[in-house]
Homo-oligomer: A and B are copies of this chain.
Amino acid sequence: MKKGERSKARILEATGHLLARQGYHGTGLAQIVKEADAPRGSLYFHFPGGKEEIAARALVEVGRRTRGELATALEGARSVGDALDALLGYFAEQLRASDFELGCPVATVALEAAATSAPVREAALEVYGAWQELATRFAHGVGLEGDAANDMGLAILSTIEGALLLARVQRSTEPLEASGRVLRKLLGV
């Protein structure tokens, strides 16, 4: 890998880190280059689109990685109930390990920039689309098909996103656990 490529990768990783914790407007370019230990002068060389482009690509990257981790966690489950525990447990662990600073790595930026930045909104759309597809596959696992599976996937994703929001505000995993109990009842597992 060439030098430029590594700089780019480090910038995107650091940006994903910072955006998840502080949001879009709360994260400055100066902080990004510092955290990435990257050359300040080459920011606009690698990302001519400026901050919007950096944020959008960082969002896609962190979403792709999260999706991968969730997928492997789901594959390791031996029952639908286990899979649900794996899903919620993954996020609960992230919350605890970060002192409730890290919930959904996309949500904050998505809400901030959905109305003002088309590239960022489209990146969030892509990430949530992929996650929704994962949730719909999960719904297939409990015997749902067609529209019912789509609805269920979207509802599961909504519930988890909302629970992650409330968990950060309450500084507690209780919303995740309560949602887990209700989802388990809903799915009959």
Q: Which residues of A contact B (CB under 8 A)?
A: 21-26, 100-101, 103, 107-108, 110-112, 114-116, 121, 124-125, 128, 150-152, 154-155, 157-163, 165-166, 168-171, 174-175, 178-179, 181-183, 185-186
Contact = CB atoms under 8 A, between A and B. Distances in A.
Contacts of A115: 21-22, 100-101, 168
Closest 4 CB pairs of A and B: A162-B162, A158-B162, A25-B25, A161-B162
The majority secondary structure among interface residues of chain A is helix
Nearest to A27: B25
A151 B25 contact: no
Given A161-B162, A163-B162, A128 B174 contact: no
A121 B179 CA distance: 22
A91 B151 CA distance: 18
Given A178-B155, A179-B155, A114 B168 contact: yes
Contacts of A171: 114
A44 B47 CA distance: 40
Given A158-B163, A161-B165, A168-B110, A181 B26 contact: no
A132 to B, nearest CB: 8
A155 B167 CA distance: 12
A100 B100 CA distance: 28
B111 A165 contact: yes
Nearest to A167: B158
Contact of A152 (B158, B174, B182): B182
Contacts of A168: 110-111, 114-115
